[in-house]
Chains A and B, each alone.
Chain A
Amino acid sequence: MSDDQGQPESTEPDLPEEVTSELKRMFRPSIEISEAVDKAVMADAQNILAPGVRVSPHRPAPGMGRWAFGLVAAGSLAAVLVLVMLPNNPQPNGVAENAQSVEAMNSTPEYVAKRDIDGNGRVDILDAYTLSRMIEDSTAGISKDQNNDNILDDNDVNLVAETAVTL
């Protein structure tokens, strides 16, 4: 270029003045717009395009992100607490018949585990059979007491058998 200052003379052929000026116009540095001008243009645009509507900033107010994070985290912890505290099988709502309440109680995991006498992971008639044999042979400990009356008898065996055939 011919207007380079302090540069060695270019070996390129000189371009016509019109081309040079057009190239300068196209690749001239962008103009920095001051913040005041920017705000003024935005205000004018808002008055023209949506008068009376207040444009809210894109960014949330300072601290809002932390509040939202805290709320969501607290909700998650509450959900975990509910999951941990609730049993797997919900109890019947309201006033249920006694038999239904017993059935629901019998189906909770704690009771199922207690009635799994042979410890094979499921309650079936063999658990009742095993408990009956243990009671007959006096080898059953009080931990096998199913109805918490501190007596090992046929009532405990019946509870295990009823659990085995529960639909």
Chain B
Amino acid sequence: MAAKSDNLSPDSRRRGIPRVPVSWIVLIAFDLCIVALVCAQDQPDSKQQPSDEAQVIELAGPVGIDDSDSQFEAIDVYVDSGTNPLAAYQFELASTTPGVKIVGIEGGEHAAYSDAPYYDSRAMRNNRVIIAAFNTGKDLPVGRSRVARIHVEIQGSGARSYRTRLSVSATVEGRRIPARVSLARIVI
């Protein structure tokens, strides 16, 4: 029988490969670019990710209570800015062990940071928060100073681990300075 295969090029006819028009190849490549663009937009914005290294701090927890019971405690957050006055700070705290809920946030010990810091209200009843504050005055804490107190509800006994990341520590005129964050457990 005389076979007719108009969609086959002379070369591909021998191999049995259908010939694809160039316009279709261009269109398929165009669609692939769109898919790549969509995938790229779905990626998280790397500029929003803090670049500072996080540290994990373990604090003692309640002792001798049932897993179904909970206890209210507080976590004091200290920032040590060394010899530089601390004009601004921002840190993230997240519990890496279950059974920790943030229930309140208040300011620190120094007058410059005695007001409640900035935080997202969605942190309440959650286990993660970003806390920040600044002061443009001249009376600023130096050295190790408690900048915030975080009230938490802890369910069950045992120690808890917290991941902290100090993303901003700055002195007057907004100059970034090295600093260190530390936590302390307060039983109320």
Residues of B within 8 A of A133 (CB): 136, 173-174
Task: Determine which residue in A32, A122, A165 has the highest number of CB atoms from chain B within 10 A of its CB, and name it.
Answer: A165
Which residue of chain B has the shortest Cβ distance to A66 in the bound complex? B23
* 0/1 string, B115-128, CB within 8 A of A gives 1: 00011111100101
B37 touching A167 by the CB < 8 A rule? Answer: no
What is the bound-complex CA distance between A162 and B119, given in angstroms?
Answer: 7
A165 touching B136 by the CB < 8 A rule? Answer: no
Tell me, rounded to whole Å, the shortest Cβ–Cβ distance linking B88 to chain A.
5
A164 touching B24 by the CB < 8 A rule? Answer: no
Residues of chain A at interface, number, CB under 8 A: 36
CB-contact partner of B88 in A88, A129, A158, A167, under 8 A = A129
Main secondary structure on A side of the interface with B = helix
CB-contact partner of B132 in A76, A132, A165, under 8 A = A165
Query: Given A69-B23, A133-B174, A167-B128, are A83 and B37 neighbors across the interface (CB < 8 Å)?
Result: yes
Number of A-B residue pairs, CB cutoff 8 Å, is 95
Residues of A within 8 A of B126 (CB): 167
Q: Is B27 an interface residue (CB 8 A)?
A: yes
CB-contact partner of B1 in A33, A69, A130, A136, under 8 A = A33
Cβ contacts A to B, 21 pairs, < 8 Å: A32-B2, A33-B2, A59-B6, A59-B7, A79-B34, A88-B41, A118-B174, A121-B47, A122-B48, A125-B90, A125-B133, A126-B88, A126-B170, A128-B132, A129-B88, A132-B134, A161-B118, A164-B90, A165-B130, A166-B120, A167-B128
